[in-house]
Structure 1
């Protein structure tokens, strides 16, 4: 009787990474001959069945699975639009799965893929880096996968995203250019690639300006909600010295920070400048409107779908990694640098 082993099991038995096992099984990437033979021997010894993905015909599945952590995050809406428009143009349907804390490891996604026939999977800002690496290593040999927004830099999995370090470096430099030096930084957890890179961009800009960072002014919140940012900002505004600027890795955080400043009767941007990240629609609706980094969200989703469809039709194509440009959108929550202009 065949053993029901996962790629992770085979990797542990062979004392190699899951990525190496995946490459051996797919036969598409180079692996040292000695390693390849060793892995194949382990597979044979334990009766693990190699199941190569067969090309789907037009009469079979035409549905793409899109996995996203949280549907309520407004940043994801234009990404979904981009994915859907690309998919529709190419004759595919899209099904969105909210993963939250329900789908956390390989077996969860394997179960979903077995219960439905999907032609490929797009992961949108979902899971932390460890989970994402483990799952994609094991799933990538079974079905085409593309990472969208949150990605693994050293992976063979195609992805579309932005240069988070450069974007936050740009935002920090703008605050410095308008005379703000005592900057409060609201971040997500560092198990996310974007959170690590954006904090690196902030630290780099401060270091290059010869400024020290008050580590008490860096807060890392467990989820992207304005309520958490509101509570955290109320606390920091009561400290002495008070920050003269608040830099956020999400517009949702920036909105929470703005509400906290208003609660403390502080003027924005005169007393405290605020910068967000993403350029979601609500940043233009609040008063004052929020300066932010614009991500090309629609294009991120559209390109992710295009990469996936390319992988579906041409399985042997080399994985592509696409990094799109960002733009600093200057609004009323920051002073205008007359040398740089503003909107």
Structure 2
């Protein structure tokens, strides 16, 4: 099949018997062109199948009005909410967004970074893959002065803006809650320790234990590679076979916390009477599981909005944080999975 010729502004101008410059200004809704003329030009452009040449325009302006985003997995509630925040803020400022996911693999993260760089995005927002422990693939952005913001899973080895929560304090609050509920043998399902969020959550867990006179026992800490439901279930089985078994478990995400509850129920362990459980993120599943899961609320949408704002706004703007580390507040949401003593 023969490929049809691309319609140009000259074709539209000829069809309407106006100048090409009039068509060009009308398509841009320039104030020098009347509303009726703009409507006629837009209608004719649509009828003729006109497509603006964005590539040529980008080359002229050196801007694409597009930002790139790299996230671990879009099927995680926290990430999907984060993305929603990024997109709403970017759209409000006239930017398009290209989303990519690494599936927690450094190889895919590198490929995505190269793709976005070659696409000439005006900035990039990244939440790092679980595997990532080298950040050289982000250096081309730094070399070209392309804005770069890391959110949630971050690295401090590059001089970039970071949007995070206080994971240490949040985990300490979660663990302290279990202690306040009478738990004496508290275990922790941790994430990969080279990743900032999971390292700091473990630190917060250990800090709470030590400040309350407990010993940190390595046998009660299990590090998971992906923090998946399957890993959570198998790790719960391992912990609940211990003698004496834990009477409280704090997990680094809600996915594994739900698996702990499911495993405990299958083993006939009463929740929260015999085992109190606290997760992290406040995913929708935390209210569906029975008993409902106590968790740390993670302000995903706000983090996405702030990350996009930092990326796109003039740092002289008074509403923009001048610090390159922005730390948002979290809160414990106490539900039935951990409530032994009523508030």
TM-score with structure 1 length normalisation? 0.76
User: Are positions 1:66 and 2:69 aligned together?
Assistant: yes
Deviation track 1:83-127 (CA, whole Å, cap 9, x = no partner) reads: 010001000111111112655389635531354231111002435
1:82 aligns with 2:85: yes
Partner Cα distance (2:60, 2:294) in 1: 48
Q: CA deviation at 1:289?
A: 0.4
Which protein shows a greater Rg? 2
**Separation in structure 2 between the aligned mates of residue 85 and residue 57 of structure 1, nearest angstrom:** 27
Rounded to whole Å, the distance in 2 between the matches of 1:332 and 1:101 is 32
SS at 1:201's partner residue? helix
Structure 1 residue 243, shift from structure 2 partner: 0.6
Q: Report the CA distance shift for 1:265/1:145 in structure 2 as closer, same or farther (over 3 A).
A: same
**Structure 2 length normalisation: TM-score?**
0.76
Conserved 8 A contact 2:315-2:322: no
Partner of 1:158: 161
Over residues 285-326 of structure 1, what are the superposed CA-to-partner deviations in whole Å (9 max), with x where a residue is unaligned?
111000000011110011000001026999xx9662210000
Q: 2: distance between equivalents of 1:82 and 1:164?
A: 20
Given that 1:165 and 1:197 are in contact with CA atoms closer than 8 Å, whether structure 2 keeps it comes out as: yes
Q: Hey, what's the Cα distance between the residues in 1 that align with 2:131 and 2:329?
A: 23
Report the Cα distance in structure 1 between the residues aligned to 2:110 and 2:217, rounded to whole angstroms. 42
Deviation at 1:129, TM superposition (A): 5.9
Q: CA RMSD in A?
A: 2.5
Provide structure 1 residue ranges, at least 5 long, that are not aligned to the other structure: 1-54
Corresponding residue SS for 1:140: helix
Matched residues in 1 for 2:256 and 2:238: separation? 14
Aligned counterpart in structure 1 of residue 225 of structure 2, from 222, 231, 234: 222
SS for the counterpart of 1:146 is strand
Task: Structure 2: state its 5+ residue gaps.
Answer: 1-57
When residues 106 and 259 of structure 1 are mapped into structure 2, their CA distance, relative to the original with a 3 A threshold, is closer
Between the aligned partners of 1:104 and 1:152, the Cα distance in structure 2 is 17
* Matched residue, 2:143: 141
Give the secondary-structure state (helix, strand or coil) at the position aligned to 1:130.
coil
Tell me, what secondary structure is at the counterpart of 1:278? coil
CA contact (8 A) 2:272 2:340 kept: no
Q: Among 177, 182, 186, which residue is 2:185 paired with?
A: 182
2:30 aligns with none
> Equivalent of 1:262, from 249, 262, 265?
265
Aligned residue in 2 for 1:327? 331
Deviations 1:6-25 (A, max 9, x none): xxxxxxxxxxxxxxxxxxxx
CA distance in structure 2 between the partners assigned to 1:252 and 1:75 by the alignment: 11
Task: Provide the rounded CA distance (Å) in 2 between the counterparts of 1:214 and 1:244.
Answer: 14
Residues in 2 aligned to 1:57 and 1:266: alpha-carbon distance in whole angstroms: 67
The separation in 2 between residues aligned to 1:202 and 1:56, in whole angstroms, is 52
Cα distance in 2, alignment partners of residues 89 and 298 from structure 1: 15
Q: Where do residues 1-343 of structure 1 align in structure 2 (5 Å cutoff)?
A: 60-100=63-103, 103-104=106-107, 108-109=111-112, 111-128=114-131, 130-132=133-135, 134-142=136-144, 143-153=146-156, 155-310=158-313, 320-338=324-342, 341=343
Shift in alpha-carbon separation, 1:239–1:65, aligned structure 2, 3 A:
same
Of the structure 1 ranges 328-337 and 96-105, higher mean CA displacement relative to structure 2 is found in 96-105
CA drift at 1:144: 1.1
Contact map agreement 1:188 1:249 (CA 8 A) in 2: yes
